[in-house]
Amino acid sequence: MRILRERSPVVGDDPFQLLKGRVHEAQGRGRVAFALLQAARSTGPIFWIVRTHDRDRPMPCALPDGVVERLHFVEARNETDLLWTVEECLRAAPVALVIAAPEKTISLTAGRRLQLAAEAGGTTGLMLIQEGRGSNAAETRWSCNPLPGPQDSTRHRWCNNKNKKGTLGTHDVSWNGATAAVHLVTQAGERHQPEKPPG
Amino acid sequence: MPLADARAICPVLSTRPADPVGEGRALEALRRWASRYGPHAAKDGPDGLIVDVSGVAHLFGGETDLLEDISARLERAGLASNSAIAETRGAAWALARRGGGVIPEGGLLASLGPMPVNALRIGPEVAEGLTRLGLHRIVDLTSVPRAPLARRFGADILRRLDQALGAQAEPVAAEPDPPQFGVRMTLPEPIGLTADVMGILDRLLVRLCDKLASAQMGARAVRLELRRVDRSAAVVEVGLARAMRDPVRISALFRKGVDEVDAGFGIDGMRLGASVTEPLAPEQLKDVQIGNGKARQEDELADLISRIGNRLGFEAVQRFLPANSRIPERGFLTVPAAYAAPEPFPSRRRPRRPITIFPPEPLTGVSGNPPSRFSWRRMGFTTLCAHGPERITPEWWFDDPAWRSGVRDYWRVETGEGPRLWLFRTPQAASGFGDWYVQGVFL
């Protein structure tokens, strides 16, 4: 068995690349957008698991290109079934990405089991958690919120709040929702030092 | 006689429409039953059965006793029947329709000779033509020259004559039984451990999958019946995400169900059957070393869907298919992933659609049109800019309760708080101005 440290960390300087074989978490009102970006970037079957009574559903005709064909949408009747399904999907090698929207707090035991399953299957998991209901076993935790932007833009602020093997950071992005590429937007801020004289 | 005349003569007449399909099915069931009298049993026209009983009659105590046995059993089942045994198929056909009985060996011409010519399985117009020539009985046909007869009435009449009199062979062409995908095993001693049951199940599965492979079929649902010593039975059923006949993969799905079965005083018989089957063409052999990556991936994915489907139900694992409708909720179909192949969605970026959709939720505290200030899900929002309206009219050919309020004007509203929402109002609704709903969230 490989130790996690030996596994190559994030390849390149792409800040939104999720580590394979681990379970990540996303919270905030823009978490579905973050999940869709990860879905657009993955290659292979995607499983999206929700509770049956959850009213928010993805709209197939607005998803990024090539995602709907790979998407399997699972409705779980209760939280146990949901976690079981997530674990089964993570353990299956051909699955590329597992997105799940649990309602309750993921306990440390459950979070750890999911990590082990993801490690066994080499799949990436992304839990769309409610604010503050994550587990300590998560590899990274993202806080995603939409931002008001200029006319007709789709700005998002994606904060990496927790990262077990990397740096934290806040990124403002503009994503058109169709392709796997995002535009990083420079954050507007106050300048604390005088501008250098030209030349 | 027309039905109206019959009713006029007898007002209490009870009538039922003919059901040829149902009758055919009943005759097929009788055919299966009739195979107890001989290895080859076939349907003979819409109202008859023919069984090859050569060398069988002594098992029933002789030919006469055999016929009695048949009529007694059918009578007990409520069926009136006539049966006959003869050396040839044609002779048996003729005699069964004229009283029945047995024609002893060598007595074909003696028994058939006095019968009218329409006992020969020929058309009524041919029989009428023969009668007009003065050939009333079968024995008359044997004495006239054959060539003119064939020229006048066709070769068919001579063929039927020869078949009835044994000059030409006519085998009983029994159609093959449809393959039955079931295997069973009876155990000398009762067993109760899960591992033992799984061991037997694996053996049964190998046999079942061999049967399926020889018929080029794949199982879609497999049913295992465990018979206990006290004659009660437990049933374990698994569904499969796609047709397959791989014993190892099916066996893995049974583990959970078999684990939950109560063995009682022990299990001494097992029956395994494929309850739903689909055609499945032979697969190309996969080289384990090189690895047929794509096919293996598909297998593993199907196994995963089977596992989830057997716990949550197969309708819980869904796939989205495109549908042709302007109504946002009906712009896609949700179907079980196990029963539908993926279809590409048409790539259409305009008009914009939200990434998340939910049943309409009313806004509160709305001011302005389109709203400049509102609250939704206990949060206040202010509008930065609004795009719209996009008017969507209900599809009058569907009666959708959610769309009874009439046309909707949809707006894409960018809020100062961040979320971009899909709002709509129904202009002609009775309450008028304040009727705003939110139905989706944009990217």
Least Cα separation, residue B250 to chain A (angstroms): 17
A33·B312 Cβ contact <8 A: no
Identify whether the C-beta of residue B112 lies closer than 8 Å to the C-beta of residue B92.
Answer: no
A32·B441 Cβ contact <8 A: yes
Q: Which residue has the higher pLDDT, A8 or B91?
A: B91
A175 touches chain B (CB under 8 A): yes
CATH for the stretch B182-310: 3.30.1490.100
Residues of A in contact with B343 (CB under 8 A): 69
Domain(s) labelled CATH 3.30.1490.100 in chain B stretch across 182-310
A84 touches chain B (CB under 8 A): yes
In a domain, A15, yes or no: no
Distance CA B213, CA B107 (A): 49
Quick one: pLDDT at residue A190?
65
A69·B342 Cβ contact <8 A: yes
Identify whether the C-beta of residue B325 lies closer than 8 Å to the C-beta of residue B331.
Answer: yes
Q: What are the 10-residue block averages of pLDDT along chain B, 443 residues in total?
A: 89 89 91 89 88 89 91 92 89 88 85 85 87 86 86 87 86 81 93 92 94 91 93 91 88 90 91 90 64 76 90 91 88 89 81 90 86 90 90 88 86 91 84 77 90
Residues of A in contact with B442 (CB under 8 A): 154
Mean pLDDT of chain A: 87
- Could you read off the pLDDT of A147-164 as tens digits, one per residue? 988 877 788 999 999 999
Quick one: pLDDT at residue B269?
92
In a domain, A134, yes or no: yes
Quick one: pLDDT at residue B292?
64
Quick one: pLDDT at residue A188?
66
Quick one: pLDDT at residue A15?
84
Quick one: pLDDT at residue B208?
94
A12: pLDDT strictly greater than 90: no
In this complex, which of B344, B355, B415 lies closest to A58 when CB atoms are compared?
A: B355
Residue span of the structural domain in which A88 resides? 20-139
In a domain, A165, yes or no: no
The one-letter amino acid at B369: N
In a domain, A126, yes or no: yes
Contacts of B267 (CB under 8 A, 6+ apart): B187, B190, B191, B192, B197, B226, B227, B228, B229
Domain(s) labelled CATH 1.10.150.20 in chain B stretch across 24-165
Quick one: pLDDT at residue A70?
92
A72 touches chain B (CB under 8 A): yes
Identify whether the C-beta of residue B138 lies closer than 8 Å to the C-beta of residue B163.
Answer: no
Quick one: pLDDT at residue B338?
87
CATH of the domain at A25: 3.40.50.300
ipTM: 0.86
Quick one: pLDDT at residue A73?
94
Give the confidence band of A7 by pLDDT, cuts at 50, 70, 90: low
**What are the start-end ranges of the E strands in B132-265?**
182-191, 217-228, 233-244
Q: Give the pair of three-digit tokens for residue A25.
A: 């978490």
In a domain, A29, yes or no: yes
In a domain, A12, yes or no: no
Give the confidence band of A104 by pLDDT, cuts at 50, 70, 90: very high
CATH classification number, B24-165, choose in 1.10.10.60, 1.10.150.20, 1.10.10.10, 1.10.3720.10? 1.10.150.20
In a domain, A150, yes or no: no
In a domain, A179, yes or no: no
Quick one: pLDDT at residue B283?
73
